[in-house]
């Protein structure tokens, strides 16, 4: 309402852990792995065998239901192991770093001007997985056509690396990637940027630019999609990080897939925070080990708000949070424990904090009440289909709600997805 000067959202306390250096260092961990995101099911077919030497970017796995979609090697190395669960569902593909593997050269053809060729290139180069399709927040189907694509050149999560830093020196690649993306969407391409820090390079005609407020959650794709182009089962809206668009631009120009991404290692269990450029699926212990304080800690892939305990960097994550692990049980009185176990969870009280945690312009209390009570119809009417777990992480944090609202949103989304699926 008042523009970016009065950005709705919550302000986080200043991070007291000092930053090692403003300039990211390049770190390739010795091990890296391809893993499915939480809730993601990847039925795969192996294209390489164990112990084989592979090049960075070489396709390693392809989806069984869409063979044109490949998962590629995050770095040059040797395949250590491929673990599949029942039904050929990927559990983990582990690689050891070996620089001799070289880099895989992709045939780009006329992908820069032909939408179908571009789609084929995205799918064969593994960049397809960097898209997230809403509703439901999964990798898009191979033949899905988006109504809009949101390119996120902003990230307001506390401690997240600035996308503008990732784009520094890569303006041309980013412009080329944006121009290519505009062939994919039949409607509109959005570029979300921090207010006052606009991308100076060339952008394709017809691009809509959105200035996002400074405070979290204004820099989340879900909040912007909810506001500017709500998703529905027949209106698929994709979002992708700006750095991945620049990767696409570089791929189109050279045929080589860039091998690193900008990741921030943060958290209160560190001596100092650091910015690194590391491979996809990097080993989180390898990234945090040089700067971690002694003592028990746990490592999350993602921010302190929406991260999950993990061993490997998640497919879309650009942040690692290392927090001290709670050790030693807190002593509770037996009556308090009994009461907590028997009682229903405490309700969430609508306050200004709740309103701000949802971006300030949606009926937050009504939406969260619908989600908490499992009322699909109202939740959909209020825009739940545009959101995924990470968009409710701040509301979870602010209100300390139990069970977590983001989990309950996922339950509703899964139910709607099952209903929408063709029988």
Partner 1 sequence: MTRGLWDREMVAMLLLLALMPMALTWLWFGGAEAVGRLLFVLLISGLWHVIFMLARAQPPSFAGALTGLAVAMLAPQELSLLQLVLGISFGSVMAELIFGGWGRNVLNPATVTIAFLGFGFPAAPWPDFALPVAWAAIPALALGMLLGVMSARLIAGALAVILIAWLADLPIAPVLPAFGVVLALLVTDPVTSASTRTGGWLNGALYGALVTLFAFGWGHGAPVQVAVSAALLASLAAPLLDEIAIALWTARRRRRHG
Contact positions vs partner 1 (CB under 8 A): 10, 229-230, 304-305, 323, 339-340, 342-344, 346-355, 362-366, 381-383, 396-401
User: Minimum CB separation from partner 1 for residue 343, in Å?
Assistant: 5
**From the CB of 422, what's the least distance to partner 1, in Å?**
24
Lookup result for tokens 């895989």: 104
- Alpha helices by DSSP H, 273-404: 284-288, 334-342, 352-357, 364-372, 376-381, 389-399
Q: Which residues pair with 33 in a beta bridge?
A: 94
Task: Give min distance, CB of 157 to partner 1, in A.
Answer: 13
Q: Tokens for 15, please give them.
A: 């991070």
Q: What is the DSSP string of 54-123?
A: E-BT-EEEEESS-TT-EEE-SSSEEEEEEEEEGGGEEEEEEEEE-GGG-BPBP--TTTTT-HHHHHHHHH
Q: Is the dihedral of CA 331, 335, 336, 340 positive or negative?
A: positive
Q: Compare residues 59 and 383 and give the one whose CB is closer to partner 1.
A: 383
Query: Is 94 or 367 the residue whose CB approaches partner 1 more closely?
Result: 367
Q: How far is the CB of 150 from partner 1 (least distance, A)?
A: 14
Give the integer Cα–Cα distance in Å for 358 and 202. Answer: 33
Min separation Cβ 398 and partner 1, Å: 4
Q: Whose Cβ is closer to partner 1: residue 56's or residue 399's?
A: 399
3-state secondary structure of 222: helix
Kindly tell me which of 10 and 291 has the beta carbon lying closer to partner 1: 10
DSSP annotation of 360 reads: S
Q: Which is nearer to partner 1, 48 or 235 (CB)?
A: 235
Cis peptide before 135 (omega within 30 of 0): yes
- Looking at the Cβ atoms of 59 and 314, the one nearer to partner 1 is 314
């Amino acid at each position: 309402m008042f523009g970016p000067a009065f950005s709705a959202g919550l302000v986080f306390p200043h991070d007291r852990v000092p930053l090692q250096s403003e300039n990211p260092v390049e770190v390739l961990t010795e091990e890296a792995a391809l893993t499915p995101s939480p809730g993601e099911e990847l039925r795969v077919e192996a294209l390489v065998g164990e112990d084989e030497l592979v090049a960075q970017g070489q396709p390693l796995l392809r989806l069984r239901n869409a063979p044109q979609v490949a998962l590629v090697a995050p770095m040059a190395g040797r395949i250590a192991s491929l673990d599949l669960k029942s039904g050929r569902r990927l559990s983990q593909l582990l690689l050891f770093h070996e620089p001799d593997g070289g880099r895989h050269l992709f045939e780009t053809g006329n992908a820069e001007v032909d939408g179908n060729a571009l789609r084929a290139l995205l799918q064969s180069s593994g960049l397809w997985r960097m898209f997230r399709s809403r509703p439901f927040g999964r990798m898009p189907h191979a033949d899905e056509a988006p109504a809009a694509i949101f390119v996120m050149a902003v990230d307001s999560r506390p401690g997240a690396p600035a996308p503008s830093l990732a784009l520094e020196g890569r303006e041309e690649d980013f412009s080329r990637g944006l121009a290519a993306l505009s062939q994919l969407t039949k409607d509109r391409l959005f570029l979300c940027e921090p207010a006052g820090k606009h991308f100076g390079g060339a952008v394709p005609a017809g691009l809509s630019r959105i200035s996002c407020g400074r405070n979290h959650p204004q820099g989340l794709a879900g909040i912007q999609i909810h506001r500017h182009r709500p998703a529905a089962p027949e209106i698929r809206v994709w979002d992708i990080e700006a750095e991945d668009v620049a990767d696409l631009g570089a791929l189109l120009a050279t045929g080589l897939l860039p091998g690193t991404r900008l990741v921030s290692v943060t958290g209160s269990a560190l001596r100092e925070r650091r910015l690194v450029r590391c491979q996809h699926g990097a080993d989180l212990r390898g990234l945090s080990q040089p700067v971690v304080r002694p003592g028990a800690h746990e490592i999350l892939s993602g921010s302190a708000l929406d991260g999950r305990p993990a061993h490997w960097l998640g497919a879309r994550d650009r942040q690692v949070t290392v927090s001290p692990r709670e050790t030693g049980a807190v002593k509770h009185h037996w009556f308090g424990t009994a009461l907590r176990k028997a009682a229903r969870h405490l309700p969430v009280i609508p306050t200004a904090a709740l309103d701000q945690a949802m971006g300030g312009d949606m009926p937050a209390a009504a939406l969260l009440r619908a989600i908490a009570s499992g009322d699909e119809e109202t939740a959909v009417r209020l825009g739940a289909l545009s959101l995924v777990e990470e968009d409710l992480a701040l509301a979870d944090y602010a209100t300390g709600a139990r069970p977590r609202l983001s989990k309950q949103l996922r339950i509703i989304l899964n139910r709607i997805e099952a209903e929408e699926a063709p029988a």
